[in-house]
Amino acid sequence: MGTILNKDEKRALIKFLSVYIISSMLLVGTIGFLYYNKEVVSIDDQCSIAMTNAAMMIEKDLMNAKMKGEAYKFKIPKENLNAALFDENGKAIYSTLESNKVYLSKKAYTNNIHQYHIHSLDKPLFGIKYIALESNIVQKEKIKLLAKIGTIIFIVTIFLGFVGYYLSRLLISPIKSKVEQLNSFIKDSAHDINTPVSALMMSISSIRGKEKIDQKVMKHISISAKLISQIYNSLSFLAFNEHDKYLNEEFDLADTIQESVRFFDEIAASKGNTISCKLESTKVYMDKSRIQKVINNLLSNALKYSYPKTNIEIVLEDRVLSIKDEGIGISKEDIESIFDRYERKAKDQGGFGIGLDIVKSVCDFYGIKISVESEISKGSIFYLRFPKAG
C-alpha cells in the first residue's frame, strides 16, 4: 500500500474519496436525522407523561389536605420540574417557574427553552384552580442527542474515510502495477532499439557509394533503419517526455517539413507513393525536435494508411498545415478516439498506436488546434492550426 502515486492518480484518488465521503455523510446524516426525529418524539412524550403525573400528584395532595382539614403545604413533585399554582383569575399563589408569563388557557405548549403542562381542577381547592408544570428537560435532552449524533457521524465519517482510502489504494494498486510494467517496457524497448539503430545507420554510412554493394539491398537497409528510427523516437518520447525540457527556438516550419519529407521519400517510394508539397515560409517559436515528431508521425500515418501508388499532399499556408492522404479513411465514430494512446483503428497495419497521442500532447502544449476530415475508403486530411508567433 506504499505505492507512490503520480499527479493524475492523486487527483483521481482525491475525487474518489470526495464523492465517497460526501455520499457516505449524506447517508449517515439522513439516518441521524430520522433517528433524531424519532428520539425527540419519544423525549416529548416522556416529559409530557412526567408532567401529567406531577400535576396529578399535586392535585392528590390538595385533595388529601382538604379532606383532613389540614393546611396545604406546596412542594415540587420532582427535582427537574418547576411548578406553579394559580387561582381562578390567573394569579399565582405559589410558583417556582422561571417564566413570568404562563398561558393557562392551553393544556400544553412549548417555547424556545421550556415545555409546559397546564392542569385545570374541576373545583378550586384552597383557592387553587390551575396547576402549571414547567420543564427544560426536552431542550437539554435535544442538545445531548444532537451532540451524540454529531459525534457518531464524525467518527463514522473518519472511519469511512479510512476505509475509502484503503479500498481506493487497493483498486489503484493493480492498475498502477500494470502501468509501471508498460512504462518499463517502453523504456526498455527504447533502449534496446537504440543500439541496432545506431549500428545500422553507421553501417549504411560506411558502405554507401561502394560499387559492389547491391543498391536494392542498400535501399532496404535504409528504409528499415528509418522505420526503426521512427519507432525509437516515438517510444523514447513517451518514456522520457515528462523529464525532458522544451527547448524553444525560432525556425521556419517549411524547412522542418521538407526535412521530414526527405526522410520519408524512400519509404513512400517503396509503396509507389509520392509526396507533393506546397509550403509557405512560416516562422514559429517552439521545440523543433518535438514539432518534427508531430510532422513525422502524421506523415508516417498518412503513408501507412494510404493505398499504394497514391499521392500524399502537404500544404502549409496561413499558418495552417494540412496533410492529405488517399487511403482507408476513418469513420465518424472513431475520429473522437484516434488520439487516445495505444488506439489503432487498423490492427493489420502494425504500430503501437502511440503516434497520434504524441501529436496531441505536443499540440496541446503549444496551443496548436487539431482537426480531422475523413471519409471511409477515400482518405483523411489532418489540419494543424499554429498560433501566431510571439
Task: Locate 151 and state its grid cell.
Answer: 459525534
Burial of 84 (C-beta count, 10 Å sphere; 0-12/13-18/19+): buried
Higher per-residue confidence, 364 vs 188: 364
pLDDT at 49: 85
Listed range (103-107, 212-216, 363-367) with the worst mean pLDDT: 212-216
pLDDT at 251: 93
Query: Of 177, 299, 286, whose CA–CA distance to 233 is shortest?
Result: 299
SS (H, E, C) 211-263: CCCCHHHHHHHHHHHHHHHHHHHHHHHHHHCCCCCCCEEEEEHHHHHHHHHHH
Quote the pTM value.
Answer: 0.47
Most confident of 181-185, 191-195, 276-280: 276-280
pLDDT at 386 over 90: yes
pLDDT at 275: 93
The pLDDT confidence band at residue 51, using thresholds 50, 70 and 90, is: confident
φ, ψ for residue 142, nearest 5 deg: -65, -45
Higher per-residue confidence, 9 vs 333: 333
Mean pLDDT, residues 22-36: 85
pLDDT at 154: 86
pLDDT at 317 over 90: yes
pLDDT at 353: 47
Q: Contact 176/3 with Cβ under 8 angstroms?
A: yes
Listed range (4-18, 73-87, 297-311, 364-378) with the worst mean pLDDT: 4-18
CA distance 223 to 230: 11
The CATH label, of 3.30.450, 1.10.3470, 3.30.43, 2.170.150, for the domain at 7-140 is: 3.30.450
φ, ψ for residue 380, nearest 5 deg: -140, 155
Listed range (28-32, 60-64, 175-179, 339-343) with the worst mean pLDDT: 339-343
pLDDT at 203: 64
pLDDT at 273: 93
* Domain ranges across the chain: 7-140, 248-385
Average model confidence (pLDDT) across the chain = 80
**Topology alike, domains 7-140 and 248-385:** no
pLDDT at 19 over 90: no
Higher per-residue confidence, 19 vs 173: 19
pLDDT at 213: 61
What percentage of residues in the chain have a pLDDT greater than 70?
Answer: 76
The yes/no answer on whether domain 248-385 falls in CATH 3.30.565.10 is yes
pLDDT at 122 over 80: yes
Mean pLDDT, residues 286-301: 89
